[in-house]
A and B are shown apart, each in its own frame.
Chain A
Amino acid sequence: MRRGHINAGWGFVGPALAAIGAFFIVPVAASLLLSFTDFDVYAVARPDRLRFVGAGNYARLLGEPRFWTALGNTAYFVFVGGPLSVAVSLGAALLLEAKLVRWRGFFRTVFFLPVVTTLVAVAVVWRYLYHPRHGLLNLLLGVVGVHPIDWLGDPRWAMPAIILLAVWKNFGFNMVIFIAGLQSIPERLYEAARMDGASAWQQFRRVTLPMLAPTFVFVAVVTMIGYFQLFAEPYVMTQGGPANRTLSVVLLMYEEGFRWWNMGYGAAVAFVLFAIILGLTAVQLGLRRLQPGTEPIR
């Protein structure tokens, strides 16, 4: 009887497990194996030209300056762009939820619009905005007396330019999540705070922020994971230039794996990135648990 019960269970989850196995577990395992070989164009034609290199790909990767450049650029993007994106999202959400705002739906749609716009189309427009001699951005800066900046061509400015674009493109998504978080905060908490004589800032600091803590964890983790996979913006806007300043880890993986067909090496890049993201996510979740006073009041 008990045995039959278990078998029926397998029958129900079987199809889903098979699909996950075939389309996720097997490819990931194959990819892991791949990362221990030097699979490339030569090996496609003749399997006897495939060598098992052990941790060779990983060792070479860690010894390659280009990888560290890519990792540094990605970290710059994550740790500057990520918090900025979250802050802008929160700011926009607070603005939209303020009591005085009219046409809320209209603004929400406008702010969300960049999220659903094709990046390639956006990139073309932003390339015009960023143009050093004819771009709108430099024209406006010129009015204030700032010298023209070669946004995408100057190694110092290329990454900030990419961050600006990414934040503008993505903040609407987190904004919607923050709005949902804000709307779930009971009005009575604010009433109670006001009765105790709390200022607007105190209400924000003592009521809004703690109540948003779970939302923050979600937004921070998802944003970090997403931002670590920076690819399309530099791929479309700069191809990793100028002077590798916008080369990201995923762009490096794409180049190695799909442009040069060094599948083995590319797979190693992917797994290193996976390990980094996994580690940082664990740290982030751990920090939230350690931090006192962020548990929502029920």
Chain B
Amino acid sequence: MSLSRPAPALLLLALAPALVAAPGCRLDRDDAGAVRFWAMGREGEEVQQLLPEFERRHPGVHVRVQAIPWSAAHEKLLTAHVGGAMPDVFQAGNTWLPELVALGALEPLDERLARWSSLDRGDYFPGILDTNVIDGVTYAVPWYVDTRVLFYRTDVLAEAGYAEPPRTWTAWEDAMTRVKERAGPDRYAILLPLREWQPPVILALQRGASLLREGDRYGNFESPPVRAAFDFYLDLFQRSLAPRAGDTALANLYQDFARGYFSLYISGPWNIGEFGRRLPATLANRWTTAPLPAPGDAYPGVSLAGGASLAVSSASGRKDAAWKLVEFLSEPAQQVRFYRLTGDLPARKAAWADENLPRKPHAHAFWIQLQSVQSTPKIPEWERIAAKISQYSEAAIRGDLTIDQALAGLDRDVDNVLEKRRWLMRGAGR
């Protein structure tokens, strides 16, 4: 909001239908032979180094990469689809796939996968591959994988009596209690950023919860397993094991971790590199990663199946060439090169083996964790539901709502979000 900016709020929305109705202006008509490839963030920059090899092997196929910032990627894909300006092949976060499928933006890949002689589906982590299969159809191929594990200060936990990482919720809670006792009132055991929906969802999945019910038609947040997970989660804040801090209270996560403001953190593979680069040298051997504890004895507890996939656009006129690029980027040798360039964990187990990753200190925990990952509900509405989860859990943490009010409110809101889905499914059943 600034007075000098003339665009009124209305115009934003007023122009939207104009964008929607505009006859798609196709890009790059001049570069007709090129395969257009969209990749996000650093991946979009680094992947260019792999492409000369691809073009050498496929004379006559030229690939044009466009790097898109992660923050704009989701919106850009939707607008590109509506405007008829989709690339031939693109990277997509695997939680976006259901939405893109609902839009009809993705090419089904099962036939091509079946013809691909050198591929064994078993070479992918089952939980990750599953996120690419929607209603029995495979729409994308995992490119790199992502899940959340425990990052922790080995020295702090050892002082608290935990030379080995906790394996059960009970041990985990005990470890955090002891860390907090030593840390005093101004420091905490674990950091759980308030706006992240992932931690409570992971805990619920670990308790075996189904977040939605009746074919993902209704919210299921008042069910006992979700309730148990939220009890555990909220308790961490009530007992001051975790700070009631949003992202604004953190100036620098890495400095805070180094100073012992918190000693445990649930995060993903990107932080292996970041912790390595940004923590002071004295801390280099005083942190590591571990798979998540489990509520019972079935260690490790499940985590989220995340990552990015490669998909071919249904509107592409160069699907065969686009698919060749997907095959190429999925080769174990290319996956290894890509890992070395970006630090992204490869999707193919063969690439893990080639790089001896399962035995590397920080990647080891991810290797174990990736064997037990689970996907969030594969419906287009999921991102919205996830935002609701973080809203309601934040309200409960701050004490604006009791846990019962929060879960009931969540069910009510989610039922509203899913109204259209129920209508569509009734139509499909008729």
Closest CB-CB distance, A63 to chain B, in whole Å?
A: 10
What residues of B have a CB within 8 angstroms of the CB of A133 in the complex? 249, 251
Given A26-B18, A239-B195, A260-B383, are A153 and B4 also a contact pair (CB < 8 Å)? no
Q: In the complex the two chains form, is B9's CB within 8 Å of A273's CB?
A: yes
* A-B pair number, CB within 8 angstroms: 154
Chain B interfacial residues counted at CB < 8 A: 47
B380 lies within 8 A of A27 (CB) = no
Interface size class on chain A is 35 or more
Interface centre among B11, B103, B249, B400 (most CB of A within 10 A): B249
B14 CB within 8 Å of chain A: yes
Asked if A134 is at the interface of the complex by the 8 Å CB criterion, the answer is: yes
A92 at the interface (CB under 8 A from B): no
Interface string of A128-152 (1 = CB under 8 A from B): 1011111000000000000000111
Question: With an 8 A cutoff between CB atoms, is B424 at the interface?
Answer: yes
Q: Are A231 and B18 neighbours in the complex by a CB distance under 8 Å?
A: no
Q: Is the CB of B248 within 8 A of A223?
A: no
Prevailing SS type, chain B contact patch: helix
Known A-B contacts A31-B14, A238-B248, A241-B394; the reply to A41 vs B2 at CB < 8 A is: no
Known: A153-B248, A155-B398, A222-B3. A38 touches B420 (CB 8 A): yes
Partner of B17, one of A30, A49, A134: A30
- Among the 9-residue stretches A8-16, A193-201, A203-211, A242-250, the one with 4 or more Cβ atoms under 8 Å from chain B is A242-250
Most buried by A among B13, B380, B395: B13
Distance in angstroms between the alpha carbons of A207 and B251 in the assembled complex: 50
Binds A, one of B36-44, B75-83, B157-165: B75-83
A153–B394 alpha-carbon span in the complex (Å) = 11
With contacts A260-B383, A267-B13 taken as known, whether A169 is within 8 angstroms of B248 at the C-beta atoms is no
* A57 within 8 Å of B (CB atoms): no
Contact of B398 among A31, A166, A243, A267 (CB under 8 A): A243
Residue from the set B16, B102, B194, B394 with the largest chain A CB neighbour count within 10 Å: B16
- Which residues does A use to contact B, with CB under 8 Å? 23-24, 26-28, 30-31, 34, 38, 40-42, 44-46, 49, 51, 60, 115-116, 119, 127-128, 130-134, 150-153, 155, 166, 169-170, 173-174, 222-223, 225-227, 229-233, 237-239, 241-244, 250, 253-255, 257-261, 263, 266-267, 270-271, 273-274
Task: Offer 29 A-B interface pairs, CB within 8 angstroms, sorted by A.
Answer: A24-B14, A28-B14, A30-B17, A30-B21, A41-B102, A44-B20, A44-B103, A45-B104, A131-B249, A150-B248, A153-B244, A155-B400, A170-B2, A222-B3, A229-B8, A229-B9, A231-B1, A238-B248, A241-B194, A242-B194, A243-B395, A244-B391, A250-B1, A250-B9, A253-B12, A254-B12, A258-B16, A273-B9, A273-B10
